[in-house]
Amino acid sequence: MTPVAPLDRSMEAAYRALVDGKAKPLGALGRIEDLAVRLALIARRPHPRLDRALLLVFAGDHGLNEAGVSAYPSAVTAAMVATLLAGRASANAFARVVGAEVRVVDAGVAADLAPHRLLIEAKVRKGARNAATGPALTAQEVDLALARGAAIAREALQDFDILAVGEMGIGNSASAALVLHRLAPAPLDDCIGLGAGHDPEGFARKQAVLHQAAARGPVSTPREVLAQFGGLEIVMMAGAILGAAAAGKPVLVDGFIASVAALAAIRLGPACADYCIFAHRSAEKGHAIAVAAAGAEPLLDLSMRLGEGTGALLALPAARAAAALLTDVASLDDVLAGTL
CATH code, domain carrying 71: 3.40.50.10210
Q: Are residues 165 and 23 both part of a single domain?
A: no
- What pLDDT does 194 receive? 81
Same domain, 129 and 40: no
Mean pLDDT in order along the chain per 10 residues (340 residues): 91 98 97 98 97 98 93 93 98 98 98 97 98 97 98 97 98 97 98 81 91 93 98 98 98 98 98 98 96 98 96 98 98 87
Asked whether residue 2 is assigned to any structural domain, the reply reads no
Tell me the pLDDT tens digit for each residue of 250-291.
999 999 999 999 999 999 999 999 999 999 999 999 999 999
Task: Confirm whether 4 is domain-assigned.
Answer: no
- Check whether residue 169 and residue 276 sit in a common domain: yes
Same domain? 25 vs 147: no
Question: What pLDDT was estimated at residue 199?
Answer: 77
Judgement on whether residues 31 and 158 belong to the same structural domain of the protein: no
Specify the pTM.
Answer: 0.97
Do 163 and 245 have their domain in common? yes
Q: Say yes or no: 163 and 111 in one domain.
A: yes
Instruction: Kindly state whether residues 197 and 135 are assigned to the same domain.
Output: yes
Residues 84 and 221 in one domain: yes
- Please tell me the total count of domains within the chain: 2
Same domain, 165 and 261: yes
Are residues 31 and 123 part of one domain?
no
| 33 assigned to active site | no
185-205 b/e (C-beta count within 10 Å ≥ 16 → b): ebebeebbbbbeebeeebbee
pLDDT of residue 116: 98
What range defines the domain where residue 332 resides?
Answer: 10-49+324-337
SS3 135: coil
Calpha distance 174→211 (Å, rounded): 11
Tell me if 42 is assigned to some domain.
yes
- Mark whether 240 and 118 lie in a shared domain: yes
- β-pairing, 251-253 vs 276-278, is parallel
Q: Torsions phi, psi of 332, nearest 5?
A: -60, -35
- CATH number (domain holding residue 29): 1.10.1610.10
Domain assignment present for 133: yes
Predicted pLDDT at 1: 77
